[in-house]
Amino acid sequence: MSMRSVKLGKQKKSLFKDKVMQLLPDGGNLNACLTCGACSSGCPATGLAGMDPRKFLRMASMGLDDEILKTEWVWNCTLCWRCLYVCPMKIDIPQLVYHARKSWPRDERPKGIRASCDMALKHETCSAMGASEEDFRFVVEDVLEEVRANQPGWENLEAPINKSGAMYFVNQNSREPVTEPDEMVPLWKILHMVGADWTYGTKGWGAENYCMFLADDENWERIVRIKARAVDDLGCKHWVNTE
């Protein structure tokens, strides 16, 4: 019986994956995949756009750069880190996804995320709804007045704004003061009940940062710096982001 050798094709090198590995501590363990599927089993985006975390990582490892840099699945991923938490090898798939997002031309990234990022850059409130400092102050003071007047037992409820030296600087999801202002009240009541020394700021109060989800590093950093400066300017000791 004759024997002959079979020459296997050389696996294509992934330039994209190599680039990401250079940015991650210890390469993000991207080469340590056991193909166990734990990442996909817990992923809320598994199956969307015909993709899942394991398939995405394996395609990157196989050098299918064109496919993974164009798949819309990277925008279905919530970057929730479930895949990383359950992975026995602690492979940082979310970082791989994030850098795939960065590869997209900015004007081709999802319109909703892009618009929310751009809206947050309009004011130093950092509100993705575009609410100004004056808008925020008016809504908070108006809702607070209504609660004090109409809810027995809450006559002394506080929702301070720009209180210097407060222990906690609290961010607020900007959809609530714009579209659901009454939804802010339960947080105020909790803080009141525990005796927290807290404040909002007219600057940097928007809790969300859509520029992060857009993979727009420059404006992601810009928004974080505005918020951090607002905390420092009021002399608050702790920053509480409700997002």
Question: Mean pLDDT throughout 12-24?
Answer: 79
Residue 105: predicted pLDDT: 95
DSSP string, 188-230: HHHHHHTT--EEB-SSS-B---HHHHTT-HHHHHHHHHHHHHH
- Is 124's pLDDT higher than 50? yes
Which pTM was predicted? 0.84
Q: Any residues with CB less than 8 A from the CB of 200 and at least 6 apart, and which? A: 136, 140, 159, 160, 161, 162, 169, 170, 172
Strand, coil or helix: what is 114? helix
Confidence of residue 5 (pLDDT cuts 50, 70, 90): low
Strand, coil or helix: what is 27? helix
Confidence of residue 8 (pLDDT cuts 50, 70, 90): very low
Domains and CATH numbers, the chain: 15-104 (1.10.1060.10), 111-240 (no CATH)
Confidence of residue 126 (pLDDT cuts 50, 70, 90): very high
Question: Mean pLDDT throughout 69-91?
Answer: 93
- Is 204's pLDDT higher than 50? yes
Contact between 30 and 17 (Cβ < 8 Å): yes
